[in-house]
Homo-oligomer: A and B are copies of this chain.
Amino acid sequence: MTTKWLYRFDEIDEVQQSVDGDWSQVLGLLGGKGANLGDMTRQGIPVPPGFTVTTAACNAYSDADGVMPAGLWNQMVLAIRELENQTGKRFGDPSQPLLVACRSGARFSMPGMMDTVLDIGLNDEVVKGMTAATKDEHFVLDSYRRLIQMFGAVVLGVADEAFETILRAKRQLRHVETDADLSASDLQDVISSFKAVVARQGLAPFPTDPFDQLRMATEAVFDSWRGKRAHDYRVAAHIPHDLGTAVNIVSMVFGNMGTNSATGVAMSRNATTGEARLEGDYLLNAQGEDVVAGIRATKPIEQLNDDMPEVAAQFAEIAKNLEIHHRDMQDMEFTVEQGKLWILQTRAGKRTAQAAVRIAVDQANEGLITKEEAVLRVSPDQIDFFLHPQFSAADLEASEPLAFGLNVSPGAAVGVAAFDADLAERWANEGKTVVLVRPETKPDDVHGMLAAAGILTSSGGRTSHAALVARQFGKPAVVGAAELEIDMVARSFTVGSHTVHEGEWISVDGTTGRVYDGKIETSAPDLENPWLTTLLGWADDFRTLEIRANADDPVEAARARSYGATGIGLCRTEHMFFDPKRLPIVQKMIVAVTAAERREAVEALLPYQRDDFVGLFRAMAGHPVIIRLLDPPLHEFLPSFDELKGQEFDLQLGLVNARDIAGIDRLVDELTIVRTMLERVDALRETNPMLGLRGVRLGLRIPELIRMQTRAITEAAIRVKQEGIEVRPEIMVPLVTFATEMEAARALIEGEMATVFEEQGDDLAIPIGTMIEVPRAALAAGQIAKHADFFSFGTNDLTQTTLAISRDDAEASFLIGYVTDEIVETNPFHSIDRDGVGRLMKMAVSDGRAEQEDLAIGICGEHGGEPASIALCQKLGLDYVSCSAFRVPVARLAAAHAALQPQAKESSK
């Protein structure tokens, strides 16, 4: 039996049967495009007839170093004859010419990498006949010009620049902008020149015989598989080199053969809103390019009902069937040639986040897909759309960004620039919408950040203070926009030659990291969207990871609950310390000289802390609340050294100029105060605060702090319990490095709890656990698990220490460059570094659970809201992820994805 090297589109069943129905083998043999055309043909959808030369033919051709395998050309000639019979046209016949396209089509899409030749079959004779038939000399000549150009470049090796030079010269001569404006006679000239160029520079002259054209084009497509461009692409995309490409020979159809012809594109559902009705555009008597080019005003697809009612009905039916067949919204190209509808292509349609959610839910409700599929159809990142205001795509296109930074917290913000937190707050109180612009932010700035609609900084990285707080509170933010030169004296910032003054409008896009001058319109967030609610509800049914939120106060806790969090995975008590009422007490505690002074300050903090927790426990009734004991180094609560040095300098300068005794006395007093503070701050300064005195190290050094916080938690829990509310507090010890630290901290905590229980005559269970945020903690997790009721991975710090990369410095200084240069696959502060941090986590989970089988383990770093990291947590067997409230809906969906397709997110290693 001779090998069958090609299949007509209508032979698709035969192909599939020959491989026992295995569609993936069909794809392998016919390529993606060929299989798809065959599949549509089999469904009775009117596809222009044609056939597919198999990948096996391509491989045989390659193996024989560019010689067609025996039988192939004969089969192609026979297949053309059948095409002639099917279409009633003839190859090279000027009166009824059959034109075909020769298109590459590999198993995996390699856009732009391989070659295509259209309009094969044209020559001087055929052109004349077609011009007579179409009455459109310009179109026919332009098609011919294109064939020679494409064929010359692809098949005959002429540099495309040679053709473009000729076209450019002609346009200049005629003073026109585009080739479409050239006259038919101009095109005749161009065609002559093209032929001459090919004759002079090509491997051979342009062949006039359509069969020569077909054979040479087919061989050129085969050759392009082995071309450097395609080879490099396959290396990058991990596509094997031995697949080969198929070649599709498709008869050409034309939508510009009179008013009973048309061409258009349409989606089976609305790609913007997701509404379940056809959406698209078409043109009567036009070619496909005209619809895209926007030269003529297109008509909405609804009007096709009036223009061509039968075709419209047929198309609607086909669209519906294609959607059912592919079980997804379809993006289709069609042409009507003299009243006859042809479908040229169908594929899954691109859609907005909003449409993606609605379509997935509608299709599941229609029974077209399962709920699992609906959940998997929406990517977790698309949920962001619903959470934040967004700039409209159209407005963005019309605007030139002023600067670029890191897109650390998504959403759009428009407001007047305010250069300090106090002013931002004052203006916000006055009803203005404000964007806070700072070189960087500090805990002091939080009130201004909360008052602002968005945040913009010129330095800092993805996990800088500004980025963390912005995400925490869902404020759109762009940080590290290094082009901004902020002048705090002039109250303005400059990018290049452009200056924005305080009070002027700017727009900040936290989704893309772009900064714009002036106001850009925004759309409102849409978290109540009913389709979204439904989808997330389904996601909750499928996921096995619990989703908790990082929240520090009752308002945030309530928000987290409303977004679907079922617990607080991280309450950072230090945020409570920055409250303006408390900060002076905290500072008093830090600068205390005697133990009694320190104790007094610590005790003054107790009622505040207790009230914080009472509110939190009420808001989280029935749900776990993990409270982390004080974590940051003490100097974070004091003014900065540089700031104090500046004050000292100003006061000294003041003294030099002072003339009256009273003034001097006052300055000297102030100087003394500043210098005392300076001394204390200097003593607490650390070369590497990240690796310094903080977390449990600080707690063991100032045990009063651990006791006070334990007391506040325990007293609050008992009070709320006695209100009849279910309370589930847990205490978390930060920065544990040695099991002995955990043991010592636990003893302190349990001792204080026992005292409070005794005093209150009541008790409740309060598990005590630890952060795993230092590599050694992960390495010694088995020992630590002896003293801990739960683990929570602090992957921000764990990433910093495991990679020896400081988040405060590194992102701007080299990490972003590493991402660009592909030293790292993704920013490890964005998505967990699997090979390093992930490996430590795996060890910690396994060693921890070996010691304590049912050890509860979660994650509370920024990664807890990032889909790929969530997939890793699922794989590692974690119990929960905890992220900022605004990431909770994203996490719910990502967790469902992780549960439904645990392997899909795997690294390709």
The segment from A160-168, A757-765, A808-816, A862-870 that touches chain B is: A808-816
CA gap between A692 and B810 in the complex, in Å: 6
In the complex, per-residue mask of A37-56: 1 if CB is within 8 Å of any chain B CB, else 0: 00000000000000000000
Question: Please, how many angstroms separate the alpha-carbon atoms of A538 and B686 in the complex?
Answer: 47
Say whether A96 faces chain B, with CB atoms less than 8 Å apart: no
Q: Is A180 an interface residue (CB 8 A)?
A: no
With both beta carbons as reference points, the residue of chain B lying nearest to A648 in the complex is identified as B649
Range of interface residues on A (Cβ < 8 Å): 35 or more
Q: Which of B688, B744, B775, B840 contacts A808 (CB 8 A)?
A: B688
Most chain B CB within a 10 A radius of its CB, from A697, A783, A839: A697
Q: Is A384's beta carbon under 8 Å from chain B?
A: no
Contact of A806 (CB < 8 Å), options: B656, B687, B740, B824: B687
CA distance A741 to B823 in the complex (A): 6
Q: Is A537 part of the binding interface, using a Cβ–Cβ cutoff of 8 Å?
A: no
A836 nearest CB neighbor, chain B only: B776
- Most B CB within 10 A of own CB, among A797, A800, A804, A814: A804
**A691-B810, A692-B813 given; A840·B779 CB < 8 A:** yes
Given A657-B656, A738-B823, A801-B801, the answer on whether A810 and B693 have CB atoms closer than 8 Å is yes
Per the bound structure, the CA–CA distance linking A803 and B688 in Å amounts to: 13
Q: Quick one: which of A779-807 are within 8 Å of B by CB?
A: 779-780, 783, 797, 800-806
Give residues 82-140 of A contacting B (CB, 8 Å).
Answer: none
Contact at A814–B738, with CB atoms within 8 Å?
Answer: no
Task: Select from chain B the residue with minimum beta-carbon distance to A464.
Answer: B687
How many Å lie between the Cα of A652 and that of B649 in the bound state? 10
Given known pairs A690-B687, A803-B774, the reply for A779 and B809 (CB within 8 Å) is no
Q: How far is the CB of A409 from chain B (nearest CB, A)?
A: 21
The answer to whether B688 touches A809 (Cβ under 8 A) is yes
If A653-B653, A775-B801 touch, does A690 touch B691 (CB 8 Å cutoff)? yes
Interface membership of chain A positions 820-854, coded 1 if the CB is closer than 8 angstroms to chain B and 0 otherwise: 01111000000001011101100000000000000
| A688 and B801 contact, CB distance less than 8 A | no
A420 to chain B, nearest CB (A): 20
Q: How long is the Cα–Cα vector from A686 to B805 in the complex, in angstroms?
A: 11
Given the known interface contacts A653-B656, A657-B656, A823-B741, the answer about A779 and B802 at a Cβ–Cβ threshold of 8 Å is yes
Beta-carbon contacts under 8 Å, A704-747 to B: 735, 737-738, 740-741, 744
Whether, in the assembled complex, A666 has its beta carbon less than 8 Å from a beta carbon of chain B, the answer is: no
| Complex Cα–Cα for A833 and B806 (A) | 23
Is A227 an interface position by the 8 A CB rule?
no
Q: Once bound together, how far apart are the Cα atoms of A837 and B738, in whole Å?
A: 12
Q: Any chain B CB within 8 A of the CB of A817?
A: yes
- Residues B779 and A839 in contact, CB atoms below 8 Å apart: yes
Question: CB-CB contacts of A195-226 with B at 8 A, as 1s and 0s?
Answer: 00000000000000000000000000000000
- Give the chain B neighbours of A325 by CB distance below 8 A: none
Assembly CA distance A712 to B216 (angstroms): 57
Cβ-based interface call for A530 (8 A): no
Q: Could you say which residues of chain B place their CB within 8 Å of the CB of A686?
A: 806, 808-809, 813
A633 CB to closest chain B CB, in angstroms?
A: 9
Q: Are B688 and A836 in contact (CB under 8 A)?
A: no
Determine which of B697, B775, B804 lies in contact with A840 in the assembled complex, contact meaning CB atoms within 8 Å: B775
**Contacting pair B835 A779 (CB below 8 A):** yes
Q: Does A174 contact B (CB under 8 A)?
A: no
Give the docked Cα–Cα distance between A214 and B679 (Å).
68
- Report A616-648 CB contacts with B as 1/0, cut-off 8 Å: 000000000000000000000000001001000
Cross-chain contact A823 with B744 (CB below 8 angstroms): yes
| B contact residues around A836 at 8 Å (CB) | 737, 775-776, 779-780
Residue on B nearest A909 in the bound complex, by CB: B783
How far is A556 from B220 in the complex, measured between Cα atoms in Å? Answer: 68
Q: Mark A652-695, 1 if CB is under 8 A from B, else 0.
A: 11001100000000000000000000000000001111111100
- Check A700 for interface membership: any CB of B closer than 8 A: yes
Interface check A299, CB cutoff 8 A: no
User: What chain B residues lie within 8 Å of A277 (beta carbons)?
Assistant: none
**Do residues A701 and B806 form an inter-chain contact, with CB atoms below 8 A?**
no
Whether A693 and B813, one on each chain, are in contact in the complex, defined by CB atoms closer than 8 angstroms, is yes
In-complex Cβ contact of A802 among B693, B801, B839 (8 A): B801
A823 touches B740 (CB 8 A): yes
Cβ B691 vs Cβ A804 within 8 A: yes
Task: Report how far A800 CA is from B817 CA in the complex, Å.
Answer: 25
Closest to A776 in B: B836
Contacts of A797 in B (CB 8 A): 804
Q: Which residue of the partner chain, among B652, B689, B774, contacts A653 with CB atoms under 8 Å?
A: B652
How far, in whole Å, are A693 and B689 apart by their CA atoms in the complex?
Answer: 16
Q: How many Å lie between the Cα of A656 and that of B655 in the bound state? A: 11
Contacts A649-B649, A693-B809: A738 and B824 contacting too (C-beta < 8 A)?
yes
- Whether A692 and B775, one on each chain, are in contact in the complex, defined by CB atoms closer than 8 angstroms, is no
Decide: B805 and A737 in contact? CB cutoff 8 A. yes
A687 to chain B: which residues have CB within 8 Å? Answer: 689-690, 806, 808-809
CA distance A693 to B461 in the complex (A): 14
A386 to B823 CA separation, bound complex (whole angstroms): 49
Which residues from B are CB-within-8-Å of A804?
690-691, 735, 737, 773-776, 797, 801
Query: Nearest Cβ in chain B — how far from A827, in angstroms?
Result: 12
**Given A688-B688, A814-B701, A817-B701; A803-B823 close (CB under 8 Å):** no
A655 to chain B, nearest CB (A): 10
Residue of B nearest to A824 (CB): B738
A801 and B836 CA atoms in complex are apart in Å by: 13
Nearest Cβ in chain B — how far from A22, in angstroms?
Answer: 36
Cβ of A779: which chain B residues have Cβ within 8 Å of it?
Answer: 802, 835-836, 839-840
Q: Which residues of B contact A773 (CB under 8 A)?
A: 804
Q: Are A697 and B806 in contact (CB under 8 A)?
A: no
Of all chain B residues, the one with the shortest Cβ separation from A823 is B740
A521 and B776 CA atoms in complex are apart in Å by 45
Whose C-beta in chain B lies nearest to the C-beta of A833?
B776
Instruction: Report whether A688 and B806 are in contact in the complex, using a CB–CB cutoff of 8 Å.
Output: yes
> How far apart are A538's CB and chain B's nearest CB, in angstroms?
37
Q: When the two chains form their complex, are residues A775 and B800 in contact, meaning their CB atoms are under 8 A apart?
A: no
| Chain B residues in 8 Å Cβ range of A813 | 686, 692-693
Q: Whole-angstrom distance between the alpha carbons of A803 and B696 in the complex?
A: 13
Bound together, the chains give a CA A477 to CA B801 distance in angstroms of 31
Please measure, in the bound complex, the distance between the C-alpha atom of A453 and the C-alpha atom of B835, giving whole angstroms.
48
CB distance from A838 to the nearest CB of B (A): 9
Cα-based distance from A7 to B262 in the complex (angstroms): 119
Known: A657-B656, A779-B836. A691 touches B806 (CB 8 A): yes
Quick one: which of A464-481 are within 8 Å of B by CB? none
CA distance A204 to B823 in the complex (A): 84
Which of chain B's residues has its CB closest to A774's CB?
B804
**Docked CA distance A744–B824 (Å):** 12
Nearest-CB distance from A747 to chain B (Å)?
12
Q: Which residues of B contact A802 (CB under 8 A)?
A: 774-776, 779, 801
Given contacts A686-B809, A738-B823, 18 further A-B contacts (CB under 8 A): A688-B689, A691-B806, A692-B810, A693-B810, A693-B814, A697-B814, A701-B814, A737-B836, A741-B823, A744-B823, A774-B802, A774-B803, A776-B802, A776-B804, A776-B836, A779-B802, A780-B836, A801-B801
A/B interface sample: 23 pairs, CB < 8 A: A686-B806, A686-B813, A687-B808, A688-B690, A688-B800, A690-B691, A690-B806, A691-B691, A691-B800, A693-B810, A693-B813, A701-B814, A735-B804, A737-B804, A737-B836, A738-B823, A740-B822, A774-B802, A775-B801, A775-B840, A779-B836, A779-B840, A801-B804
The 8 closest A-B pairs by CB, nearest first: A776-B836, A691-B806, A688-B806, A687-B808, A774-B804, A686-B809, A775-B775, A688-B690
